[in-house]
Structure 1
Amino acid sequence: MNIADYKKFDVLNGRGLRNSLFTSGCRHHCKGCFNAATWNFDYGTPYMQQFEDQIISDLNIANIKISGLSILGGEPFENVDGLLGLVKRVRQECEGKDIWIWSGYTFEEIVADTSKSELLSYCDVLIDGKFILEQRNLKLQWRGSENQRVIDVKQSLNQGMAVLLD
């Protein structure tokens, strides 16, 4: 897995002050994508254990309230093997931190695919659906087009259907 970008302090991608990780590789190729450079799986730098350790350290900075980790892309669900270890560590080592994840796949597509659903199970919020240029709305929070949803993952998995975040 390659990393396209990492923002140690980010207030745009989720609630609160966050660490945001942008993975490389995406097969959706949405027309009008704001991050088309990340479609290439070889874009950016290789993900290394040292980098993962840095993310965990950044999430646990003592004197700054970091709300959690945001995972974007590219397409995170095309990098499940590389991300599973990280999200498991966040759950074990970063008390009180939430995990937000963005995907061109819908909630329903992710839960139907066992290779993707495990990664989802460690997340708190999913922003789902492909970006559709014709439905772009710059007034939306955390998403780019009207079709995309901000989903409460835990409630959705409990109820067996997508439940929007309050």
Structure 2
Amino acid sequence: MNILATEYSLRHKALELYVAGCKGPHCPGCHNPETWSFDQGVPFDTVTKREIETKIKDFAHMIDNIWVLGGEPIDQDRKALEELLSFLRGFRPVWLFTRYELSEVSENILCHCSYVKTGRYNEDKLVDDNVQHGVKLASSNQKIHRLNN
């Protein structure tokens, strides 16, 4: 599993981690088509862990949550994704953003998450008022689930 990019979202007080790779079929109108290839980014290994930990600790006053997005996190190697989520959970609540439905996500993944955004982006269901847990979602079929973890 490769980490494509990290960035701070001041609006949501989150550190965002983007994983590289998304299996088709892709959502028409996807806002991150540059993340589809699995052959980009840096492998999630010890060096990447140290870099992520440094970003979290150096800007702890700015970060309330950690978001894992893509690409598609669920399309990654399951063991590597579990390792990433477990590692991140030690710092802040983890939000997982996926196009899959909650029932399609392994319990071994969900147990590390505080929130999970589910549902494919759907251009036919665009809305301006789908705000859940302070996050504006693009289409009416998308949902954020708060988990008891």
Deviation at 1:87, TM superposition (A): 2.0
> Residues 84-95 of structure 1: matches in 2 within 5 Å?
84-92=82-90, 94=91
Deviation at 1:46, TM superposition (A): 2.9
Question: Structure 1, residues 47-77: CA drift from partner, whole Å, max 9, x if none?
Answer: 3321112212222337624102100011111
Deviation at 1:83, TM superposition (A): 2.4
* Alignment correspondent of 1:101: 96
- CA 1:60–1:150: 2 relative to 1, 3 Å: same
Deviation at 1:40, TM superposition (A): 1.4
User: Contact 2:99/2:118 (CA < 8 Å) preserved in 1?
Assistant: yes
* Alignment correspondent of 2:113: 123
Deviation at 1:43, TM superposition (A): 2.8
Gaps of 5+ in 2: none
How large is the RMSD of aligned CA atoms in angstroms?
2.1
TM (normalized to structure 2)? 0.84
Counterpart-to-counterpart distance in 2, 1:138 and 1:22: 24
AA aligned to 2:110 is: L
- CA 1:135–1:62: 2 relative to 1, 3 Å: closer
Extract structure 1 runs of 4+ deviating beyond 3 A: 138-142
AA aligned to 1:17 is: K
Counterpart-to-counterpart distance in 1, 2:5 and 2:54: 17
Deviation at 1:138, TM superposition (A): 4.2
AA aligned to 2:127 is: N
> Residues 10-25 of structure 1: matches in 2 within 5 Å?
10-12=9-11, 16-25=12-21
Paired-residue identity, % = 25
- CA 1:10–1:37: 2 relative to 1, 3 Å: same
> Residues 13-162 of structure 1: matches in 2 within 5 Å?
16-27=12-23, 28-61=25-58, 64-79=61-76, 80-92=78-90, 94=91, 97-110=92-105, 116-140=106-130, 141-154=135-148
Deviation at 1:33, TM superposition (A): 0.3
User: Contact 1:128/1:148 (CA < 8 Å) preserved in 2?
Assistant: yes
User: Contact 2:121/2:138 (CA < 8 Å) preserved in 1?
Assistant: yes
AA aligned to 2:94 is: I
User: Contact 2:21/2:35 (CA < 8 Å) preserved in 1?
Assistant: yes
User: Contact 1:37/1:43 (CA < 8 Å) preserved in 2?
Assistant: no
Give the length in aligned residue pairs.
Answer: 143
Counterpart-to-counterpart distance in 2, 1:139 and 1:43: 34
